[in-house]
C-alpha cells in the first residue's frame, strides 16, 4: 500500500476538470467539476440519512441503480435542495453532460453542494459545459477537487497504489467538508475512482462496510447534511481478475479504500469550518464495538469539549460529561483519560477521578494542531476511533452569515 500523488486521476482511465462557470460570484473559486472514466465503471454509493435530501441524490440513486456509471458532475455554491424544480435541474445537468460526452444520461452521477433553498439556475452550467469537457485531462484532479469546495480552505485529494493478482492497481479520491457534518449518516461529498476490476455488488459491499468506521465516525458540528454522498467508481482498467467475492483480493481493495477514507476523514475535520485543531478520539476497553463508537462520537461532538480544545484547556471533566450522556453502557468509575500530541502524552483522569498532572505540560500538548484523546473504559474488546475538530470564533463567523 503506497501513497502516491494525485486524486481522482491517479487510477488508469480517468480524466477530470474543474472550472468557474458562474454559480459562485467569487470568480477565483471553481464551482463546477467533472470526472470521467474512459470505460464504463462499476459504481457504488452511500447517501445522507437526512429526510430532507438534495434533489441530485435521488437522481444519482436512480442512475446508478444498475451498478454502473461513467461520469461525475458536481457544482458548488448551490445545493439544489428544497427547490420545486430540483429533480428537473439535476436531470438536466446529467443530460447536458451526457450529450457532450456521448454517454448515456443514466451513467452520470450528479451532485450539488452549497446554499439550500435557492433555485439552481441551469444557464451557467449549460454555458460552462463545453469548456469543462474540453479541459478534461489526467492532470485535472486538483481542479476538480477545488470545484467541489464550499467553505473548505484546502482541497482534499489522496491516492494509493497496490497490487491485486499481480497487477498494479490504484485508488484515489477527493472530498469536500467542511460544515454540516455529523455521524449517523452517509457523509459529505466524496468521489473515489479506481482502475480495479470489481463487481458493482462487491464495490457497494466494500463502501458500505468502510464508511461505518470512517466517514460515519466524524463530526464537525452535529448537523447532518442534506446533500451527503460518497461515490466510488471502478473501471477495471488495471486488468486484475475481477473481484466478485470476499477473499484476499477483496481484502487488499478494502485496505486501499480504508487508507483513502481515513485520510480524507482526517482532512475533512482538520479543515472543518473554523477549525484550528484536528481531534482524534480513541476508545478502548468497551464491551463491544457499538459502545466504543457511541462513546468516541459523543466526545468529539461535545461543544464544550471542542471549545476547551480551542482554548488548549485540559478540562477533562468535559470528556467525562460527554461519556456520561452518550447513552453507552459504561462504568464511569473505570474511565481513564489521556491527552496526547507531538508535544507528549499526559494522564488527566484515572478510574473516573482527577489525578495530579502538570498543567504546563498539558497546555503544551493541547497547543499542537493534532490532539489525541485517549479513553479507556474497562477491559472489554470494543475499540473505536472518531474524528472531530475544535469549536472556534471562526465557526460562528462563517455560519453567522453563510448566505452572503
**Binding site residues, a copy of itself, CB under 8 A:** 49-53, 79, 81-84, 115-119, 179-180, 182, 184-185, 221-226, 301-304, 307-308, 310-311, 313, 315-318, 320-325, 330, 332, 349, 352-354, 391-393, 395-404
Q: Which is nearer to a copy of itself, 361 or 398 (CB)?
A: 398
What is the enclosing helix (H) or strand (E) of 68?
strand 68-78
Least Cβ distance, residue 171 to a copy of itself (angstroms): 30
Least Cβ distance, residue 154 to a copy of itself (angstroms): 21
Least Cβ distance, residue 185 to a copy of itself (angstroms): 8
The rounded distance, in Å, linking the Cα atoms of 204 and 387 is 24
3-state secondary structure of 366: helix
**Catalytic status, residue 282:** no
Q: Which is nearer to a copy of itself, 22 or 222 (CB)?
A: 222
Least Cβ distance, residue 53 to a copy of itself (angstroms): 8
Least Cβ distance, residue 336 to a copy of itself (angstroms): 12
Q: Is residue 87 within 8 Å of residue 66, measured between CB atoms? A: no
Q: Is residue 216 within 8 Å of residue 184, measured between CB atoms? A: yes
Q: Which is nearer to a copy of itself, 250 or 402 (CB)?
A: 402
Closest CA to 10 of 256, 204, 208, 230: 256
Parallel, antiparallel or unpaired: strands 189-194 and 229-234: parallel
E strand intervals along 295-404:
336-341, 344-350, 353-354, 370-376, 382-389
Q: Which is nearer to a copy of itself, 119 or 344 (CB)?
A: 119
The rounded distance, in Å, linking the Cα atoms of 262 and 368 is 20
How would you class 26 by CB atoms within 10 Å of its CB: exposed for 0-12, middle for 13-18, buried for 19 or more?
A: exposed
The rounded distance, in Å, linking the Cα atoms of 84 and 149 is 25
Least Cβ distance, residue 50 to a copy of itself (angstroms): 4
Closest CA to 224 of 263, 186, 275, 182: 182
Measured CA distances, 360 to 167, 280, 312, 343, 364 (Å): 53, 21, 11, 11, 6
Q: Per the residue annotation, which of 150, 187, 193, 261 is the catalytic one?
A: 187
Q: Which is nearer to a copy of itself, 204 or 224 (CB)?
A: 224
Q: Give the CB-side neighbour count of residue 140, counting CA atoms within 13 A.
A: 24
Q: Is residue 10 within 8 Å of residue 170, measured between CB atoms? A: yes
Q: Which is nearer to a copy of itself, 103 or 283 (CB)?
A: 283
Q: Give catalytic residue positions.
A: 187
Amino acid at each position: 500500500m503506497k501513497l502516491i500523488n494525485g486524486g481522482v486521476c491517479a487510477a488508469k482511465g480517468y480524466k477530470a476538470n474543474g472550472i468557474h462557470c458562474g454559480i459562485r460570484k467569487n470568480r477565483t473559486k471553481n464551482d463546477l467539476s467533472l470526472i470521467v472514466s474512459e470505460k464504463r465503471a462499476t459504481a457504488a454509493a452511500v447517501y445522507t440519512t437526512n429526510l430532507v435530501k438534495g434533489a441530485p441524490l435521488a437522481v444519482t440513486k436512480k442512475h446508478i441503480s444498475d451498478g454502473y456509471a461513467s461520469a461525475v458532475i458536481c457544482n458548488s455554491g448551490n445545493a439544489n435542495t428544497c427547490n420545486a424544480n430540483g429533480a428537473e435541474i439535476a436531470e438536466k445537468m446529467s443530460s447536458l453532460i451526457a450529450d457532450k460526452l456521448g454517454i448515456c444520461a443514466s451513467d452520470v452521477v450528479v451532485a450539488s453542494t452549497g446554499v439550500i433553498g435557492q433555485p439552481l439556475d441551469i444557464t451557467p452550467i449549460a454555458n460552462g459545459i463545453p469548456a469543462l469537457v474540453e479541459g478534461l485531462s489526467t492532470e485535472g484532479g486538483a481542479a476538480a477537487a477545488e470545484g467541489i469546495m464550499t467553505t473548505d480552505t484546502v482541497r482534499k485529494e489522496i491516492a494509493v497504489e497496490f497490487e491485486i493478482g499481480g497487477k498494479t492497481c490504484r485508488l484515489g479520491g477527493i472530498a469536500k467538508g467542511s460544515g454540516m457534518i455529523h455521524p449517523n449518516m452517509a457523509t459529505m461529498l466524496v468521489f473515489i475512482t479506481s482502475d480495479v476490476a470489481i463487481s458493482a455488488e462487491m464495490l457497494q459491499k466494500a463502501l458500505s462496510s468502510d464508511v461505518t468506521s470512517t466517514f460515519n465516525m466524524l463530526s464537525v458540528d452535529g448537523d447532518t447534511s442534506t446533500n451527503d454522498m460518497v461515490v466510488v467508481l471502478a473501471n477495471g482498467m488495471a486488468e486484475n481478475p475481477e473481484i466478485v467475492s470476499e477473499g484476499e483480493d477483496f481484502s487488499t481493495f478494502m485496505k486501499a479504500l480504508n487508507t483513502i477514507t481515513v485520510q480524507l476523514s482526517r482532512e475533512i475535520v482538520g479543515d472543518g469550518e473554523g477549525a484550528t485543531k484536528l481531534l482524534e478520539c480513541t476508545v478502548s476497553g468497551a464491551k463491544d464495538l457499538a459502545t466504543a463508537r457511541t462513546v468516541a462520537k459523543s466526545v468529539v461532538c461535545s461543544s464544550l469539549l471542542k471549545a476547551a480544545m480551542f482554548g488548549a484547556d485540559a478540562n477533562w471533566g468535559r470528556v467525562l460529561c460527554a461519556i456520561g450522556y452518550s447513552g453507552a453502557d459504561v462504568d464511569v468509575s473505570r474511565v481513564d483519560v489521556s491527552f496526547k500530541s507531538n508535544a507528549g502524552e499526559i494522564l488527566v483522569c484515572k478510574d473516573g477521578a482527577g489525578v495530579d498532572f502538570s498543567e504546563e505540560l498539558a497546555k503544551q500538548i493541547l497547543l499542537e494542531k493534532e490532539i489525541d484523546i485517549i479513553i479507556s473504559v474497562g477491559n472489554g474488546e470494543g475499540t473505536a476511533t472518531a474524528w472531530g475538530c475544535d469549536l472556534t470564533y471562526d465557526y460562528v463567523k462563517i455560519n453567522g452569515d453563510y448566505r452572503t
